[in-house]
Amino acid sequence: MHQTMESTGATAPRQGLLLAIDVGGTKTQVACYDTARQRMNTRILATHADGLSGVPALQRILDAARDCVAEFDSAQVLSVAAVFPGVVRGPTLLMAPNTPGFEGLDLQALIARAFGNVCVTLDNDVKAGALAEVRWGSLAGVDNAIYLNLGTGLSAAAIANGKLVRGHNGAAMEIGYLLSPFIDPAHPEQWATFQNGNAPLEELFSGNALSRLADEMLGHGHQPLDLFASANPEVRRALELRIAACAVQVANLAVALDVERIAIGGGLYRQASLLAPMIEQLIHRVVPFPPALTTAFFTHDAPLWGAFSMAMDAAGLNALAHQLIAAGESIDALGD
């Protein structure tokens, strides 16, 4: 890694470590940056391994983070930022089915104790990713935008008049809970809703949803990417119906929010080139003022860079170098 971070102020930055943790439904990325050496260490691990959940799963992640920190000898941890799928409320996490056992934990206290009670900031992963795209990426200079993250789950974030939209409960743009466009109004008892324990749109289109579809249509062991590669007409129709379900809702959001740009990222989007043309076609057909569609600058690690932004601000370091990623090399290159 050859990334560098620097202060834009007149004085030298505080010397020490910035620690960023991006906990995903499938994998967790940890990155530790030393402001003195201008060097970064990273770890990538399964979020839930060996059947672990809750506190044991979190401790395993924190052990990996401590390993990152230990490589810098006795350097002081200046701040830690951790981002999670779900709704972050104070020190706890709500509505996070993809990280079983994490809901209700005092995440802030558990993380702080692991690093000597340093400053810990928490946020939703996709909202953090949107802030990274606004600060350094594809949404820089854009006052009205949507960041769509297609990963293990399905979520989005909105920028309105230059501000991140959080909502009354911090749950704004949790689009996985939008109703399916295919509901039958004659049979409301069959609707999949949050009250019934469902995330309707996420269950139609997300990494998890397409993994289940691949398993059903192609056989055990197949992955979502195999659906996109399949020439089977039935598979293609089933996949295109799922994409349309998501694209319709993205188009509806573009109408409702009147955005200038939509940036799309996440591991699923990076793998599936079929997605962009279908979403773009629908948007241009139905949105009165169609926004530009672009790939997120941080293709599938925007939440991690959002966490770095949070850690940097908490430590009083007001800028990173604009050239965050050296030629041909980035955290993203570590893979899914």
Which amino acid, 247? Answer: A
Domain ranges of the chain: 17-128+300-334, 138-295
Residue 149 pLDDT > 80: yes
Tens digit of each residue's pLDDT (9 = 90 or more) over 185-226 = 777 766 777 767 778 899 889 989 999 999 999 999 898 889
Distance CA 209, CA 205 (A): 6
Closest CA to 80 of 115, 129, 29: 115
Q: Which CATH class is domain 138-295?
A: alpha beta
pTM for the whole thing?
Answer: 0.86
What pLDDT does residue 333 have?
44
Bridge-partner residues for 92, per DSSP?
A: 89
**The tokens of 249 are what?**
């809702």
Here the tokens at position 67 are 């390993």
Do 17-128+300-334 and 138-295 show the same overall fold? yes
Give me the architecture of the 17-128+300-334 domain, per CATH. 2-Layer Sandwich (3.30)
Q: How far apart are CA 139 and CA 179, in angstroms?
A: 28
Q: What is the pLDDT of residue 7?
A: 36
Task: Reply yes or no on whether the pLDDT at 88 is more than 90.
Answer: yes
Measured between alpha carbons, how far is 270 from 28 in angstroms, rounded to an integer? Answer: 18
